[in-house]
Amino acid sequence: QTDRQALQKEKTRPQNRLDEAEDEAVRRAHRGLLEEIDRQIEDLEEEIEEHVEEDPKLKDRCTLLDTIPGVGLQTAAIVVSELGSPDRFESARQAAAYAGLVPSHHQSGTSVRGNPQMSKIGNARLRRAMYFPAMTALRFNEAIKALGDRLKERGKEKMVIIGAAMRKLLHICYGVLKSGQAFDASLHPGT
């Protein structure tokens, strides 16, 4: 997965240069580079899909996670590979803490400074993998959408809402993996 993320990051430089380039030959070169990076990403995604298909246990877990609105096969593969067995954790809270999806307070002695922020401690790959699925889930997953709406009504900032959505989505992933049952929206009515 880190190779795929590295390729995604590598796309930024030629994309920015393409946007700024005035010479058509330079623009053509950057478009060619972007097409090559996209091809490499597609190849990696196919390899991931093949790997998932070859391992029945991995395939079953990824298929379960794929039932959650906002989670696709690529995210499911990262969650399964980074979390491992859900039995490693006693609760969804522990899984979220492992991923670093918990608020951390900055304090010194009795002084608490600033607003709570997302902890930098934890599994960065898992935390990073939850970002875009959480953004999607805020639009298409009713449980997470309701959470986002409640936080917005309370005046929370956008990044706080996204962080809460990431945490909630990982809680749902943990529950689906732990139970071995596909996502059931009726179990998460407006939570």
What value does the mean pLDDT take over residues 133-142? 93
Q: In sequence order, what are the residues at sequence separation of 6 or more whose Cβ sits closer than 8 angstroms to the Cβ of residue 142?
A: 69, 185, 188, 189, 190
**SS3 for 134-151, per residue?**
HHHHHHHCHHHHHHHHHH
Query: How far is it, in rounded angstroms, from Cα 40 to Cα 186?
Result: 39
* Spatial contact of 55 and 29, defined as CB atoms under 8 Å apart: no
pTM of this prediction? 0.80
Q: Give residue 2's pLDDT.
A: 63
Please state, in angstroms and as integers, the Cα–Cα distance from residue 162 to each residue in 79, 101, 167, following that order.
18, 11, 9
Q: What angle do CA 120, 109, 105 make, to 5 degrees?
A: 30
Q: Count how many Cα atoms sit within 13 Å of the Cα of residue 48 in the half-sphere of its side chain.
A: 20
**For all residues of the chain together, what is the average pLDDT?**
87
* Spatial contact of 60 and 171, defined as CB atoms under 8 Å apart: no
Q: Give residue 1's pLDDT.
A: 47
Query: How far is it, in rounded angstroms, from Cα 149 to Cα 23?
Result: 46
Q: Give residue 135's pLDDT.
A: 95
- Report pLDDT digits (tens) over 30-48: 899 999 999 998 998 898 8
Confidence grade of residue 23 (pLDDT, cut at 50, 70, 90):
confident
- Report pLDDT digits (tens) over 10-22: 888 888 888 888 8
* Spatial contact of 105 and 112, defined as CB atoms under 8 Å apart: yes
Instruction: Tell whether the model's pLDDT for residue 73 goes beyond 70.
Output: yes
Q: Is 190 left (phi over 0), alpha (psi -120 to 50) or beta?
A: left
Q: Where are the domains of the chain?
A: 1-54, 69-187
* Spatial contact of 65 and 177, defined as CB atoms under 8 Å apart: yes
Provide the residue type at 90 as one letter.
E
* Spatial contact of 125 and 6, defined as CB atoms under 8 Å apart: no
Check residue 87 and report its DSSP letter: G
Instruction: Tell whether the model's pLDDT for residue 154 goes beyond 70.
Output: yes
Closest CA to 122 of 97, 92, 159, 94: 97
Closest CA to 89 of 173, 1, 185, 187: 173
